A = this chain, B = another copy of it.
Amino acid sequence: MSLKLFSTRIQNVTPSFIREILKVTHEKDVISFAGGLPNDALFPLQQLKQASLSAFENKGSQLLQYSNTEGDLGLRNWIAQRYQAQNLEITAEDILMTNGSQQALDLLGKVFLNKKDAVVIENPAYLGALQAFRLYQVKFLPIDLHSQGMDLKQLKQTLSINNAKLIYTVPNFQNPTGISYSEENRQAIAKEIAKTDSYLIQDDPYGELRFSGQAKSNFYTLLPQQTLLLGSFSKTIAPAFRLGWIVAPKPVMKKLIIAKQAADLHSNSFSQAILAQYFEKNDFDQHLTQLKLHYGQQKIIMETAIKKYFPKNTQLTNPEGGLFLWCTLSKKISTLELFQKAIQQKVAFVPGESFYTSNIQQNTMRLNYSCADQKIIEKGIRKLAEIIG
């Protein structure tokens, strides 16, 4: 076949490097800090089984029929009420259910992005967002991340010389770095964006997983007309359901619904009904408390092990939630080379350079702590330390 047949958008895109890594790390005897999975021992398995039964009993055959594009009204009402409890003025009508946050990113690409349009992204950034937007052949404008959030000087300069349509952020427990934007950083970013026509995307898959520190302002309160808020049940309930959502102002929502129809008519309504049942019968906050307790402990165990075993000049972020620690080693170390050695020793992580679109810090690594227990975390970190030498 002729390669010319493929679209230009897909011709030069390769499978994500991280996926290739994850394949290697899937073998049973590998200690993997490479993934980004929630801990499956913490899934509310019995409760979801019960919710499935209730959904069959309560909804009957309607449970299996086609449904509306926007999503299950009961579920969207539940989501809206949680926002309202945080003083965000969001109703079910402002919410579109998507197949995880990933589809929200793709739909935003469809609705906003022409070839060569500019998109501001974090540097380093979430790979799924890069992948989604890259297929719209956009120009990325990376802004370096610091421990307090985006580099404001870079952001101001970038916004002053470029007409960015979208500014993509993960302000809470960012993937890959684990950092959160400080309150001041958020206020300053909102102030800059208010001067523009741009939309800020707050991708927030980990927002409910805060195990220490104080919650910061949601961009939706700072910039209600210019914020596109993404949420997900993948990290808090079950990734297999592929259910996330997007909150958007009405004119954007209209276009998103058209794009969603064209993309797949509607999200899995069977799983939406089960989730609605689950929330009706269970205390979600109690479930979250469990998750936060575990992830908080696992983070401390990993942090402690790193401080104990890694070289003294190692720098670590201090995540207050989420699934990831970000580790910066001595400048002379390439974590990509380290990865090759580590995988031979059956321990894995993600080399940081995969996440950069500029100003690559090749001495960085992403470590996931959510899926391993104390013994495994300590063993894996000790092994890694030995390889670093």
Partner-B contacts on A (CB < 8 A)? 1-2, 5-10, 13-16, 19, 37-38, 40-41, 43, 45, 48-49, 52-53, 56, 60-67, 98-100, 102-103, 106, 110-114, 117, 128, 131-132, 134-136, 165, 197, 199, 225, 234, 237-242, 249, 251-252, 254-255, 257-259, 261-271, 273
Contacts A7-B114, A62-B40: A268 and B242 contacting too (C-beta < 8 A)? Answer: yes
User: What chain B residues lie within 8 Å of A48 (beta carbons)?
Assistant: 56, 64
Contacts A110-B7, A113-B7, A251-B1: A102 and B49 contacting too (C-beta < 8 A)? Answer: no
A241 is contacted by which of B1, B8, B270 (Cβ under 8 Å)?
Answer: B270
B258 near A103 (CB under 8 angstroms)? no
Would you mind naming 18 contact pairs between A and B with Cβ atoms under 8 Å apart?
Answer: A2-B197, A5-B165, A6-B112, A9-B114, A10-B259, A40-B61, A40-B64, A41-B61, A43-B61, A49-B56, A64-B237, A64-B239, A66-B239, A99-B99, A132-B262, A134-B262, A242-B268, A242-B269
A249 to chain B, nearest CB (A): 7
A64 near B99 (CB under 8 angstroms)? no
User: What chain B residues lie within 8 Å of A14 (beta carbons)?
Assistant: 258
A171 to chain B, nearest CB (A): 22
Alpha-carbon separation in the docked complex, A7 to B109 (Å):
8
Alpha-carbon separation in the docked complex, A106 to B102 (Å):
15
Main secondary structure of the interface of A (DSSP, over half): helix
Contacts A15-B258, A268-B99: A5 and B112 contacting too (C-beta < 8 A)? Answer: yes
Alpha-carbon separation in the docked complex, A113 to B234 (Å):
31
Alpha-carbon separation in the docked complex, A200 to B109 (Å):
27
B99 near A261 (CB under 8 angstroms)? no
B268 near A240 (CB under 8 angstroms)? yes
Alpha-carbon separation in the docked complex, A132 to B103 (Å):
15
Contacts A242-B264, A264-B106, A265-B128: A111 and B7 contacting too (C-beta < 8 A)? Answer: yes
Alpha-carbon separation in the docked complex, A210 to B287 (Å):
48
Alpha-carbon separation in the docked complex, A249 to B241 (Å):
29
User: What chain B residues lie within 8 Å of A128 (beta carbons)?
Assistant: 262, 265
User: What chain B residues lie within 8 Å of A199 (beta carbons)?
Assistant: 5
Alpha-carbon separation in the docked complex, A238 to B55 (Å):
15
B264 near A103 (CB under 8 angstroms)? yes
Closest chain B residue to A3 by CB distance? B251
Alpha-carbon separation in the docked complex, A52 to B269 (Å):
15
A237 to chain B, nearest CB (A): 8
B134 near A249 (CB under 8 angstroms)? no
Alpha-carbon separation in the docked complex, A1 to B88 (Å):
21
Closest chain B residue to A98 by CB distance? B264
A49 near B43 (CB under 8 angstroms)? no
A255 to chain B, nearest CB (A): 5
A164 to chain B, nearest CB (A): 11
Additional A-B contacts beyond A238-B270, A263-B263, A271-B271 (20; CB < 8 A): A1-B249, A2-B197, A6-B111, A7-B110, A9-B110, A15-B258, A15-B261, A19-B261, A40-B61, A45-B64, A49-B53, A52-B52, A64-B238, A99-B267, A100-B264, A102-B262, A102-B263, A131-B261, A135-B262, A241-B268
Closest chain B residue to A64 by CB distance? B238
